[in-house]
Amino acid sequence: MSAPRNEMELKEEAVRAHYAAAAEMLMGIDHAPRLATAKLTVMAAEKSPEVAGMQRRFRSTTPGLVTRSMARSEGVRLIDRIALADDDDPLTSPLQAATAHALRRALAISLAMGEVFSRQTGLVELKKANLENRLPGARAAEFTELLAAEALVALSVFANATAFLLAEHAAEGTVDIGVVEEVLTDNAQLALHGALWELDQDIAVFARDERTLIATVLAFAEQLMDKVRMRAATAPRLTAFTGVNFRVEADDFPISGFDPARRARGTVLEMSFKQPHEVVGNHIAKYQAMRLAKMLMAYDFKQGSNPFVEMGGFIFTFMGDGKPGTGKTTLIQMMAGLLHGYCEIAGYPFRYANLSIDNVDSYQGKSGQNAKAFITGVTDPAVIGFGTVDDIDQVAGKRGDRQSSAGQQEITAVLMEAFAGANTVVRGNCTFGMFSNFPENVDDALRQRAGARFLVDGPQTREDYIDILALLLGKNHGIPLGDHELYAAQEIRRAVAASFAGHAVPREAGLTAVWNDVEARIGALDTIAKLGAYLKAIQEADPRFTGRAIKNITDAVKVRAMDFELPDAWMEEPDLFLFKPYDEKAAMIAELRKPITTEMVVQEINRYADSEFRYADKSDEVAIENAVRDMRRMEEAKRRYLEVKG
Which pLDDT value is given to residue 491?
A: 62
Which pLDDT value is given to residue 346?
A: 92
Distance (Å, whole) CA 292 – CA 313: 10
Co-location of 12 and 73 in the same domain: yes
Co-location of 134 and 182 in the same domain: yes
Judge whether 151 and 193 are in contact, CB under 8 Å. no
Co-location of 333 and 219 in the same domain: no
pLDDT value at 62 more than 50: no
Angle at which helices 94-121 and 210-232 cross, to 10°:
20
Co-location of 174 and 295 in the same domain: no
b/e for 463-485, b at 16 or more Cβ within 10 A? Answer: bbebbbebeeeeeeeeeeeeeee
Which pLDDT value is given to residue 31?
A: 93
- Tally of domains within the chain: 2
Distance (Å, whole) CA 608 – CA 438: 17
Which pLDDT value is given to residue 423?
A: 79
Domain-embedded: residue 88: yes
Distance (Å, whole) CA 560 – CA 639: 60
Task: Give the CATH number, domain containing residue 287.
Answer: 3.40.50.300
Global pTM reads 0.60
DSSP category for residue 277 = G
Domain-embedded: residue 636: no
Distance (Å, whole) CA 292 – CA 312: 13
Co-location of 445 and 587 in the same domain: yes
Which pLDDT value is given to residue 267?
A: 59
Domain-embedded: residue 641: no
Which of 42-46, 116-120, 421-425 has the highest average model confidence (pLDDT)? Answer: 116-120
Domain-embedded: residue 14: yes
Which pLDDT value is given to residue 489?
A: 66
Which pLDDT value is given to residue 431?
A: 96
- Rounded average pLDDT over 79-94: 80
pLDDT, tens digit (0-9, with 9 covering 90-100), for 124-153: 999 999 999 999 989 999 999 999 999 999
Distance (Å, whole) CA 569 – CA 575: 10
Which pLDDT value is given to residue 45?
A: 40
pLDDT, tens digit (0-9, with 9 covering 90-100), for 552-593: 888 888 877 876 778 889 988 999 999 999 999 999 988 888
* Start-to-end C-alpha separation, the chain: 84
51 vs 119 pLDDT, higher one: 119
Give percent above pLDDT 90 in the chain: 43
Which pLDDT value is given to residue 348?
A: 92
Which pLDDT value is given to residue 16?
A: 95
Domain-embedded: residue 2: no
Co-location of 349 and 429 in the same domain: yes
| Cα 210-211-214 angle, rounded to 5 deg | 85
Distance (Å, whole) CA 150 – CA 450: 42
- Rounded average pLDDT over 423-435: 92
pLDDT value at 123 more than 90: yes
Distance (Å, whole) CA 212 – CA 443: 38
User: Which among 33, 26, 32 has a CA at the least distance from the CA of 77?
Assistant: 26
Distance (Å, whole) CA 162 – CA 208: 20
pLDDT, tens digit (0-9, with 9 covering 90-100), for 210-263: 888 999 999 999 999 999 999 999 999 999 999 889 999 888 899 989 988 876
Domain-embedded: residue 262: no
The amino acid occupying position 458 is G
Judge whether 220 and 214 are in contact, CB under 8 Å. no
Co-location of 98 and 219 in the same domain: yes
Co-location of 283 and 249 in the same domain: no
Co-location of 325 and 440 in the same domain: yes
Co-location of 252 and 281 in the same domain: no
* φ, ψ dihedrals at 254, nearest 5°: -90, 140
Which pLDDT value is given to residue 37?
A: 86
**Average per-residue pLDDT in the chain?**
84
Distance (Å, whole) CA 172 – CA 168: 12
pLDDT value at 361 more than 90: no
Co-location of 207 and 302 in the same domain: no
DSSP element (H, E) containing 185: none
Domain-embedded: residue 38: yes
Domain-embedded: residue 634: no
Residue 411 to residues 69, 375, 451, Cα–Cα distance (Å): 47, 11, 19
Co-location of 215 and 296 in the same domain: no
Which pLDDT value is given to residue 199?
A: 96
Neighbours of 488 (CB within 10 A): 11
Domain ranges, residue 13: 8-256
CA gyration radius for the chain? 30
Distance (Å, whole) CA 538 – CA 547: 12
